[in-house]
Structure 1
Amino acid sequence: MGGRLVACSCGDDLRDCRRPRGCQHCSVWHGFAYRGPDLSFQPPGRAPGDGGSAVHAGGAARHSEIAVIAGQQRRVIENPISGERIVVRQTAEETGGELFVFDLFLPPGAHVPARHAHPIQEEQFTVLAGRMRFRLGRRIIAAGPGETVVVPVGKPHWFGNAGTEVSQARVEVRPALRTEEFFEANETMARAGHFLGTRLPRLSDLARVLLEFEREVSIPNVPPLLVRGFLAPLAWLARRRAGGRD
């Protein structure tokens, strides 16, 4: 699918660019916004005319919902604390680790809990429905249907629903790494009641996740060695609470 690129990976807002298909700061040619295959979508829970629907598998407490899209079963990962709902489109296994593609749904008022960065991954959002707001460093970017925001490697960012309706975005993460497992870990903690009222996990559980997925997510502007030194004792505490061993 096509789309109008809103922000280049160098941080240039292309809506103010004199060359709408190219970045005036880094001269990158933006011939198209979406680089993956054309993946048509029907939101989970609806029964479109082509027979797509959402089904529930056995009432399991974890990963219990499966979306049927174009005749294929796709897993749904949902965080009941943050409101994030993820429908997996392409997995790391299916793309040889090149990328992880998912549809992100956010209800009105929902947003990620805190600013974060991806040390070695680029993240691309193409808004399909509703409106979203992004913060890239100090830049605030609003995006609507057909617009794409690219978050460069290592860039601190935050995003949320900026409208009054459910927002939907197609998200590509390159390379895939263990991003899907990271989302699963957050869902598991949320359903187990390991989150505080701030939408963040308990500090010890957060430490454990940040250490386990340090290639996928990081705390902005804090040296990794300092993070590891501070979080390691807390992660050990989380393992003890969970009944694990070193």
Structure 2
Amino acid sequence: MSDSPTSAPATSSPIPDDDPGRALAVVPAPDSDGLRHIAIAGGIYTILLTGQDTDGRFCLVEMRVPPGGGPPPHRHDFEETFRVLEGEVEFTFRGEKVTAGTGATVNVPANAPHAFRNTSGVPARLLCICAPAGQEEMFLALGDPVEHADSPPPPLTDEQRAERGAKARALASQYHSEFV
């Protein structure tokens, strides 16, 4: 019997190799220049990280939602997680209402019908993660670009709001979504 230490056989890591083709994504503050700010559903959505930044794994959007604002009931085949940074937001999930205030985190499972609405008298600010990515592309296709995160949405006539609603319904399936 030998006293010499034995070396363990080399094993391969269960974690894939680093992809040096992917870069670190550093995003400035949402009120900085150089980001894409979109007026949609009565609020301003700032695209922080896209699927291009995350290899399609997720997107990150800051949402500034005015009192009474928020999207109509819908569902989609991806997870959607919200972190309420400021304000109070009422989530309707499968027909039941839940209120989430500052500091709350809400996860909406894929395929579940839901909506949210700012029920407070002040603007709400949310971070929204969609996994996998793709929802940010729908926002970009539907929304009106604005200069800054704190820009007011452009005023829309009833006809323009109806046109945007029709466009959203027409594009929804392309972005794995539907309105319910």
Is TM (by shorter chain) over 0.5?
yes
CA RMSD of aligned residues (A): 2.9
User: In the superposition, relative to structure 1, how do residues 206 and 91 fare at CA in structure 2: closer, same or farther (>3 Å)?
Assistant: closer
1:134 maps to 2:94: no
Report deviation, 1:127: 0.1
* Greater strand fraction, Structure 1 or Structure 2: 2
Higher Rg: 2
Residues 3-26 of structure 1: CA deviation (Å, up to 9, x unaligned): xxxxxxxxxxxxxxxxxxxxxxxx
Q: Scaled by the length of structure 2, what TM-score is found?
A: 0.70
Q: Does 1:102 align with 2:61?
A: yes
Q: Is the 8 A contact 2:169 2:179 kept in 1?
A: no
Deviations 1:23-78 (A, max 9, x none): xxxxxxxxxxxxxxxx998553xxxxxxxxxxxxxxxxxxxxxx34xxxx321111
Q: CA deviation at 1:196?
A: 4.2
Greater relative CO (CA pairs within 8 A, separation 6+): 2
Question: Is the alpha carbon distance of 1:179 and 1:40 closer, same or farther for their aligned partners in structure 2, counting shifts above 3 Å?
Answer: closer
| Aligned pairs for 1:84-123 within 5 A | 84-112=43-71, 114-119=72-77, 121-123=78-80
Distance 1:182 1:141, change over 3 A: same
Q: AA paired with 2:79?
A: E
List aligned pairs for 1:10-89, cutoff 5 A: 44=31, 67-68=32-33, 73-79=34-40, 82-89=41-48
2 CA distance for matches of 1:155 and 1:200? 26
Is the aligned partner of 1:164 residue 2:117? no
- Identity percentage over the alignment? 25
- Paired with 1:41 and 1:127, the residues of 2 have a C-alpha distance of 20
8 A contact 1:105–1:168 mirrored in 2: yes
Q: Is the 8 A contact 1:195 1:201 kept in 2?
A: no
The change in CA–CA distance for 1:43 and 1:108 in structure 2 (over 3 A counts) is farther
Unaligned runs of 5+ in 1: 1-38, 45-66, 221-246
Q: Output the amino acid matched with 2:74.
A: H
Could you tell me which runs of 5 or more consecutive residues in structure 2 were left unpaired when the two chains were aligned.
1-25, 145-152
Give the deviation of 1:208 after TM superposition: 2.7
> How far apart are the structure 2 equivalents of 1:97 and 1:208?
23
Q: In the alignment, which of 153, 170, 177 is matched to residue 208 of structure 1?
A: 170
